[in-house]
Amino acid sequence: MRVSVSRVLMVLAAAIAVVLSGQLQANAARRVALVVGNAAYQSVSRLANPENDAYLMADTLGRLGFELVGGGAQVNLGKSRFEQLVQQFGNASVGADVALFYYAGHGMELGGQNYLVPIDANPGKSADVPLQMLNAQTVLAQMSDVQSRLNIMILDACRNNPFPNSTRASPSGLAQMRAPRGTLISFATQPGNVALDGHGKNSPFTSALAESIQTPGLNLFDTFNRVGVQVAKVTGYEQQPWTSSSPIEGQFHFVPANLPSTPSAANLAVETARRFYGALSLADGYAASSLVVPEKRTLAAYSPEGISGFYRSLSSPLQVLDISPVSSTIVSVHYRYGRPGGGVCETTANVTMRIIGGQAYVEKIQAGC
């Protein structure tokens, strides 16, 4: 039987299209995350790391394709705002393939229940705890109710009870939690133990977590096992992370083995710096302002009108001489321009970036002139 070449090509093209369609659907799996870091407590001492930990996790998850509730890390939440965001998280997770909740801050156990502590909590007695704090089961209920394919809860909250004199809560750590169907719960340390803040800007647990979830090819359980091993070694086995899980169908990888690595935060930051200062050199305030973190775009120094007005008044346009990364989120920019009234300003600025949804935005500029 003779088969025409054109027919063979048509069959091959159709087969390839089916394969590519499957790959695209797998790569387009919808991921939703709520990332919270509470540090600036109003009635007890401030915590050193949770804000930094939340920003690190939000940046990392954003680059891995997660939709971030609120657009980024949510820090220093009071009870009312915390509850609102958890409800938004539940609504956003409807139809998602993966729903992930991350919390860093004070947590406490009372009567076998784990509570996440808002910054405005100040219980006078144990009965105040359920009224002033957020029960971790409330978050699990939001995740379970929408029936995401996979739910992940991460609690870097196993610290000492911040209210030992007014409550009968456990003096340290959180209680073990049962994971509902299709859920993995990760604790920074074993039930009843206290997690360490470490000596850097991030906790040992979150540092290891942010690194491990970016490793191509690690499945869900291998990822958290790797986190546990790293944390145990770094802390001299004083802290050993713990997981609770129900049976989970299929395989999940934060970064599949067959996908290229995502651009590093440093590369994203440098690229935004080039675009931002390129717009300044053209006195294009609208292009420059669009690269600033959203909450600062209405400030005079970062608004389209403010930027355009200043850079149009220069006696000679801004000229970039060098751009280089200082860290993953700070870029050094060496430039010069002619002052409006005459003379030349030549200086080096340190530009702090924030990663939101896989894109770097200008957050702060420190310059000499």
3-class secondary-structure state, position 136: helix
Task: State the amino acid at position 257 in one-letter form.
Answer: A
What was the pLDDT predicted at 3? 38
Q: At 356, which CATH number?
A: 3.10.450.50
- Does one domain contain both 202 and 111? yes
What was the pLDDT predicted at 353? 93
What was the pLDDT predicted at 326? 86
Q: Which residue has the higher pLDDT, 258 or 169?
A: 258
Mean pLDDT of 27-48: 88
What was the pLDDT predicted at 182? 92
- Does one domain contain both 239 and 277? no
Structure tokens at 240: 């050993």
Instruction: Please give the helix or strand (H or E) that residue 164 lies within, else none.
Output: none
Closest by Cα among 207, 204, 197, 241 to 59: 207
Whether residue 199 lies inside any domain: the answer is yes
- Does one domain contain both 184 and 280? no
The DSSP secondary-structure symbol of 299 reads S
- Does one domain contain both 208 and 175? yes
Q: Which residue has the higher pLDDT, 172 or 329?
A: 329
Mean pLDDT of 133-152: 90
Residue 76 has pLDDT above 90, yes or no: yes
Residue 103 has pLDDT above 90, yes or no: yes
Burial bucket for residue 169 (CB in 10 Å: 0-12, 13-18, 19+): buried
- Does one domain contain both 180 and 297? no
- Does one domain contain both 86 and 211? yes
How far apart are the C-alpha atoms of 67 and 212, rounded to whole Å? 19
Q: Phi, psi (5° rounding) for residue 339? A: -65, 155
Q: At which of 212, 245, 278 does a domain end?
A: 245
What was the pLDDT predicted at 348? 93
- Does one domain contain both 228 and 317? no
- Mean pLDDT for the chain? 84
Which residues, other chains included, contact 132 with Cβ-Cβ below 8 Å and sequence gap of 6+?
79, 118, 120, 121, 122, 123
Q: Which residue has the higher pLDDT, 240 or 192?
A: 240
- Does one domain contain both 233 and 334? no
How far apart are the C-alpha atoms of 81 and 89, rounded to whole Å? 12
Mean pLDDT of 334-340: 94
The pLDDT > 70 percentage for the chain reads: 84
What was the pLDDT predicted at 212? 93
Question: Per residue in 163-193, pLDDT tens?
Answer: 766 665 555 567 778 787 899 999 988 665 6
Instruction: Please give the helix or strand (H or E) that residue 170 lies within, else none.
Output: none
How far apart are the C-alpha atoms of 117 and 136, rounded to whole Å? 10
Model's pTM, two decimal places?
Answer: 0.64
Q: Are 305 and 312 in contact (CB under 8 A)?
A: no
Instruction: Please give the helix or strand (H or E) that residue 2 lies within, else none.
Output: none
Sign of CA dihedral 162, 68, 327, 298: negative
Q: At 218, which CATH number?
A: 3.40.50.1460
What was the pLDDT predicted at 238? 84
Whether residue 25 lies inside any domain: the answer is no
The pLDDT > 90 percentage for the chain reads: 56
Domain total in the chain: 2
Residue 202 has pLDDT above 50, yes or no: yes
Q: Are 292 and 277 in contact (CB under 8 A)?
A: no
| Residue 354, CA distances (Å) to 51, 58, 104, 150, 328 in order | 13, 10, 19, 28, 10
Q: Phi, psi (5° rounding) for residue 143? A: -70, -40
Closest by Cα among 146, 123, 150 to 66: 150
Whether residue 15 lies inside any domain: the answer is no
What was the pLDDT predicted at 234? 86
| Residue 219, CA distances (Å) to 29, 154, 216, 231, 242 in order | 15, 16, 9, 18, 17
- Does one domain contain both 104 and 235? yes
CA-based R_g, the chain, Å? 24
- Does one domain contain both 212 and 326? no
- Does one domain contain both 275 and 317? yes
Instruction: Please give the helix or strand (H or E) that residue 152 lies within, else none.
Output: strand 150-156
Of 168-172, 182-186, 222-226, 360-364, the range with the lowest mean pLDDT is 168-172
Mean pLDDT of 250-276: 83
- Does one domain contain both 140 and 218? yes
Question: Per residue in 151-161, pLDDT tens?
Answer: 999 999 865 67
What was the pLDDT predicted at 135? 95
What was the pLDDT predicted at 111? 85
Of 44-58, 99-113, 257-271, 294-308, the range with the lowest mean pLDDT is 257-271
Residue 272 lies in domain: 265-366
Q: At which of 193, 215, 245 does a domain end?
A: 245
Sign of CA dihedral 234, 236, 239, 243: positive
What was the pLDDT predicted at 260? 55
Whether residue 19 lies inside any domain: the answer is no
Of 124-128, 140-144, 160-164, the range with the lowest mean pLDDT is 160-164
What was the pLDDT predicted at 45? 86
The DSSP secondary-structure symbol of 239 reads -
Mean pLDDT of 36-49: 92
